[in-house]
Structure 1
Amino acid sequence: MSAIAAAIKFYTLFLFTVALLRIIHGGRANIFIYAGCSLDKFPPNSPYQSDLNALLSALSSSSSRSLYSSFSTGNATGLYQCRGDLKTRDCADCVAAAVSQLDLLCPYTGGAALQLDGCFLRYDDGGDFVGKLDTSLRYKKCSASNGGDAEFVRRRDDMLADLGGAAAAAAGFRVSSAGAVEGYAQCLGDLTAAECGECLAEGAAMVKSLCGAAVAGDVFLAKCYVRYWESGYYGSSSGRSSSEEDDVGKTVAIIVGVIAGLALLIVLLSLCRKSLG
């Protein structure tokens, strides 16, 4: 094998490693939760398709700079909201994944919505949903009951009261815990603080009502969601702290540097041999 061929193999390995680690790093944020497609359809290559393509492109571009944005392009209106603890690069990855999944799930539909673990994306040909409070239930998931342990239920309710309170409403995103119970809640960025508070209070009450003494519960309303779980329920893969996310980024940088350095060294050695020969 020539030195140049070896360098090419090293570079191929480099690209594969970067892609693989990128998938591992941002994979959880892209986990599917729910989707909905409108019944009205538009024909291919129609003016609305051009408007929609321009809208999704604008939303994708904005997600690399902001965790929330809304746009209108022609007759298409849409918005996205990334989870409040995501970095913008992970937000951009999540929104790109949402756009790709909606294209498969809801082809040629006038309106659609998709919730991934790390972001929410919605578009419509009307646009009257932006800036309007909507507390209708879109999705719920409840685990098995823990047997009605009174201490767990008390701490769960304390934590949900915090997630449905004024501090969460003012911030739009809040992480909370009470003993062994953890959770977080978020509103879409088009709501006012008062509307967010109303939505989160409704979500907190609904998850208690629907999930009872479940070890974990998720309630997604049209404009907000509330999620809770008992520590350890999701295992070590349930999420990573910001420091762990930084460690992954450092690992990627180190591996990329080593592989790129080896490829460069092989190319330089090859050139030296040619010049000496």
Structure 2
Amino acid sequence: MNKDATFSATLSLTLVLSVLTPVSPYRLLTCCNTDNLTATSQFYHNLQILLESLPSNTSLANGYFHDHIGDGNDRVYGQALCRGDVNRKDCMKCLENATQQVMNMCKRYEDSITWFDLCQIRYSSRNFTSMMEYAGKYPPQNSLRKSVKNPNKFGEKWIYLMDTLSVEAAFKNSKAMFAAGEIRVSEKETIYGLVQCTRDIPPNQCKTCLDSALGDLKTCCSKREGGTVISANCNVRFELSLFHNASNPQLTWSVSKERKWKKWIIVVACVLSALAILIGLGVVYVRRKKRSRKDEVRSQSALLHHAASPTRNVKTNSFALVSYEELTVMNLATIRAATDNFSDSNKLGQGGFGSVYKGTLPDGKEIAVKRLSMKSWQGFEEFKNELVLIAKLQHRNLVRLLGCSMEEEEKLLIYEFMPNKSLDNFIFDSEKRSKLDWKTCYNIISGIARGLLYLHEDSRLRIIHRDLKPSNVLLDSEMVAKISDFGMARIFCDDQNTVNTQRVVGTYGYMAPEYAMEGLFSTKSDVFSFGVILLELISGKRNNGSYLKEHSLTLIRYAWKLWKEGKELEFLDPLMLESYPIDEVLRCMKIGLLCVQQDPIDRPNMSSVVVLLASGAISLPQPRQPAFARAQVAQMDHSSITTQSVNASLTNSSISTSVSQ
């Protein structure tokens, strides 16, 4: 058993259970780090003893208890925590239910952590006590919360509440490390909040954990009526209905306690505001009368220049990014005419930040227009990101940016049109797939590999795509593969190998484990995504499906199982067995397995992949057990749901399960 691997790095199963109401109890169960335990092993025996003792010991110890049983490699460490406002009876009942679920779902695993609404329980083969580990998770209910009517006032109040409670839990109530309270937004609306840490970490680490959780909470839920973020050592939650049982909330703030302005101050403020408005209207009127078309073009150029400026380079601040002189700025009227004023009949897809439309320019050239949301800050960031990246990238296997426009609050990106749409239309459509010969398939695989190699090593900037999947691989009229959608891509400095982020974005099933679980991404993250696409293409199956139902195998686990058993041919699409060169297809399967290895170090870089694809004479190393090959898929509740995000390509829409934490 590997004692040095961190809990988050070895996480191989996350199961989120919920019901479709914002205030329902959330539950999350994780099992990880090997599934080889048997009922006869000493570790399993120690685990049973430990789990049986935790509910009663925790309830007697005022809601928190940790212990270990066994020696050497068979030692098991355990921890249980009840919410600070729960009585002993409810604490014990919750933990009994939690331990039962753990034994049902995770008894073959060395690590597990389970969250219920009133308690959490954790065990591991390593000593995790007194160690702060943050990997914030969003329960699916967050996306179901309604938006608030006055987000500025609402956000100011709940952030003040949660920040105050964090200080209370970490420093003023450090023995329990729990705080709950409320704040009045209006006469009819009150926000209720709760924060909590496990009691094995010191106050400063508790505050650090809570600050990280609140940062994620602001990202997901600052304009919603409620939200929750949970992690191994802390959790935070706020709602518009009372959900906790704290008899003496630590913070109450009613409207009557807010500072009242004096009448004369109000009068002066109103007069000054009126004067400012009148002066402003006068200035606007004069400027509009004097503004010429030349001024308008300059204004637009300035906006584009600002959009293309770098946000930040912590190493050197020296990126020579795209400037507006390098772009073709298109007239909004021309684009409206080309797309028939963005008519639904020309709509190709709908994405999270906007829509994609087909258009035809006056000279007959077909284009794809990405129309980003007018009011979305994230839409502007995506617009800026694509300007920074694509305008400087020129390669046969990358989609080409033809121009852009920023007029009348519109943010438009214009690309070459891809008549054959995206790769997923061919992989998962039996009729279209039957028309693909092996030469075309092989060229598509090689094209994706060469495009990634250009991004990683050969372009002016070192780019990590972060959201490579079949719907983001487009096909031109000659079936040449072109990588698209750089809204989530990131630039690396020359001396950077790995970057950490607390906001994980992408699509579940294609994200490398170190990125999905720890927020660590590198060029090897894209290699993992490439490997998944390769396995999907030669099998005709989706990675987020389930194969061999009795074992609930994902595509990667299914491929690995057949490879180990020498039954590789069973993995291939039957069409390939009939007409494709079996040796080449099996070689591609082996390359795919090498690309989805658990450890990024074991995955080849894209330059090696391109060489291996081009030359069948080079021998391939034997793949090791791939990432997520140990995952167990468990069903605890038929009402469970998965978070979904809609991702638009330049040619079609696709719905995929995603993680944005």
State the structure with bigger RCO (CA 8 A, min sep 6), 1 or 2. Answer: 1
Matching residue of 2:203:
193
Classify 1:230/1:213 alpha carbon distance in 2 versus 1 (closer, same or farther; 3 Å). same
**Following TM superposition, by how much is the alpha carbon of 1:161 offset from its aligned partner in structure 2, in angstroms?**
1.5
Matching residue of 2:47:
52
CA RMSD of aligned residues (A): 2.1
Partner Cα distance (2:82, 2:107) in 1: 23
Matching residue of 2:76:
76
Classify 1:176/1:240 alpha carbon distance in 2 versus 1 (closer, same or farther; 3 Å). closer
Asked whether the 8 Å contact 2:32–2:109 carries over to 1, the reply is: yes
Q: Output aligned runs, 1:1-277, within 5 Å.
A: 31-41=25-35, 42-66=37-61, 67-74=63-70, 75-127=75-127, 129-140=128-139, 141-142=141-142, 143-165=145-167, 167-170=168-171, 171=173, 172-179=177-184, 180-231=190-241, 238=243
Partner Cα distance (2:45, 2:138) in 1: 31
Classify 1:187/1:239 alpha carbon distance in 2 versus 1 (closer, same or farther; 3 Å). closer
Residue by residue over 1:212-264, the C-alpha shift from the partner in whole angstroms, topping out at 9 and shown as x without a partner, is 201000011221011001237xxxxx455769xxxxxxxxxxxxxxxxxxxxx
**Residue ranges of structure 1 left out of the alignment (5+ in a row):** 1-29, 233-237, 244-277
Asked whether the 8 Å contact 1:169–1:193 carries over to 2, the reply is: yes
| SS in structure 2 at match of 1:95 | helix
**Residue ranges of structure 2 left out of the alignment (5+ in a row):** 1-23, 185-189, 249-661
TM-score scaled by structure 1? 0.70
Residue identity over aligned pairs, in percent, reads 24
Asked whether the 8 Å contact 1:162–1:176 carries over to 2, the reply is: no
Matching residue of 2:394:
none
Asked whether the 8 Å contact 2:86–2:245 carries over to 1, the reply is: no
Asked whether the 8 Å contact 2:214–2:236 carries over to 1, the reply is: yes
* Count of residues paired in the alignment: 207
Asked whether the 8 Å contact 2:113–2:120 carries over to 1, the reply is: yes
Asked whether the 8 Å contact 1:215–1:230 carries over to 2, the reply is: yes
Partner Cα distance (1:173, 1:239) in 2: 12
Asked whether the 8 Å contact 1:111–1:125 carries over to 2, the reply is: yes
Classify 1:202/1:71 alpha carbon distance in 2 versus 1 (closer, same or farther; 3 Å). same
Partner Cα distance (1:241, 1:189) in 2: 18
| SS in structure 1 at match of 2:50 | helix
The residue type paired with residue 68 of structure 2 is: S
Classify 1:145/1:242 alpha carbon distance in 2 versus 1 (closer, same or farther; 3 Å). same
Question: Bigger shift: 156-165 or 134-143?
Answer: 134-143
| SS in structure 2 at match of 1:146 | coil
Partner Cα distance (1:32, 1:214) in 2: 17
Partner Cα distance (2:65, 2:98) in 1: 15
**Following TM superposition, by how much is the alpha carbon of 1:32 offset from its aligned partner in structure 2, in angstroms?**
4.7
| SS in structure 2 at match of 1:160 | helix
Classify 1:193/1:31 alpha carbon distance in 2 versus 1 (closer, same or farther; 3 Å). same
Matching residue of 1:247:
none
Asked whether the 8 Å contact 2:95–2:119 carries over to 1, the reply is: yes
Matching residue of 2:376:
none
| SS in structure 2 at match of 1:138 | coil
The residue type paired with residue 131 of structure 1 is: S
**Following TM superposition, by how much is the alpha carbon of 1:183 offset from its aligned partner in structure 2, in angstroms?**
0.6
Partner Cα distance (1:241, 1:85) in 2: 5
Classify 1:32/1:45 alpha carbon distance in 2 versus 1 (closer, same or farther; 3 Å). farther
Whose strand proportion is higher, 1 or 2? Answer: 1
**Following TM superposition, by how much is the alpha carbon of 1:56 offset from its aligned partner in structure 2, in angstroms?**
0.9
The residue type paired with residue 33 of structure 1 is: R
**Following TM superposition, by how much is the alpha carbon of 1:89 offset from its aligned partner in structure 2, in angstroms?**
1.6
Whose helix proportion is higher, 1 or 2? Answer: 1
**Following TM superposition, by how much is the alpha carbon of 1:151 offset from its aligned partner in structure 2, in angstroms?**
2.2
Partner Cα distance (2:182, 2:156) in 1: 12
Asked whether the 8 Å contact 1:183–1:229 carries over to 2, the reply is: yes
Classify 1:185/1:176 alpha carbon distance in 2 versus 1 (closer, same or farther; 3 Å). same
| SS in structure 2 at match of 1:145 | coil
Partner Cα distance (1:226, 1:90) in 2: 20
Q: Which of structures 1 and 2 has the bigger CA Rg? A: 2
| SS in structure 1 at match of 2:110 | coil
| SS in structure 2 at match of 1:155 | helix
Matching residue of 1:264:
none
Asked whether the 8 Å contact 1:51–1:76 carries over to 2, the reply is: yes
**Following TM superposition, by how much is the alpha carbon of 1:156 offset from its aligned partner in structure 2, in angstroms?**
1.1
**Following TM superposition, by how much is the alpha carbon of 1:205 offset from its aligned partner in structure 2, in angstroms?**
2.1
Asked whether the 8 Å contact 1:164–1:204 carries over to 2, the reply is: no
